[in-house]
Amino acid sequence: MKVDIERVDRWAAADLEGIGDINNKISFPIALYEVGPDLTAYLAAEGDGIGFGQVVAGIASKDVAGAFAAAKTIPKETYDAAITTGRPQLQKLYADYFNANGVDAVVFPTTPLPARPINPTAIPARTLSSSTAKRCRPSPPTFATPIPAATPRSQA
């Protein structure tokens, strides 16, 4: 496979003007609002009797549990505005960039580091590498660290 490095570099250096503002308005309203109905529907179809409340009660990570608790606070009107106004703005921003620069595809990293164990003390020390973020001091937050690698493109 031949890679056109110039085009890859050009995308990596691209500044999509306004993307941060749009993302800040829509990312959490969309992600947090949708998790409730989507996970509930999935569990009803595939969960073998496990419900949304059981999943939430079993979340061991404090920051992820906090995000699920915050999901209950997103008003439907805020979600609807994000879907009907902000999301189309984000899609247009990407479409305009693709068209103006002849970009056919974009590859994004999904996360800046491997998933961290919730309770690293329960894992034998030999499985934790000193060269990974798992052993950083202070440790990066479990929820907030990978989120920038997922948004705004996951909302488009």
pLDDT given for residue 67 in this prediction = 85
Give the CA distances from residue 135 to residues 2, 56, 101, 122, 126, in Å, rounded to whole numbers and listed in that order: 37, 27, 41, 14, 12
Q: For residue 71, how many other CB atoms are within 10 A of its CB?
A: 19
All residue ranges of the chain with pLDDT < 70 are 1-15, 106-156
pLDDT given for residue 127 in this prediction = 44
The string of pLDDT tens digits covering residues 70-98 is 888 899 999 999 999 999 998 998 888 88
Nearest to 39 by CA among 23, 27, 25, 56: 56
Cα separation of 94 and 13, whole Å? Answer: 15
Sequence ranges of the domains in the chain: 5-150
Cα separation of 70 and 65, whole Å? Answer: 9
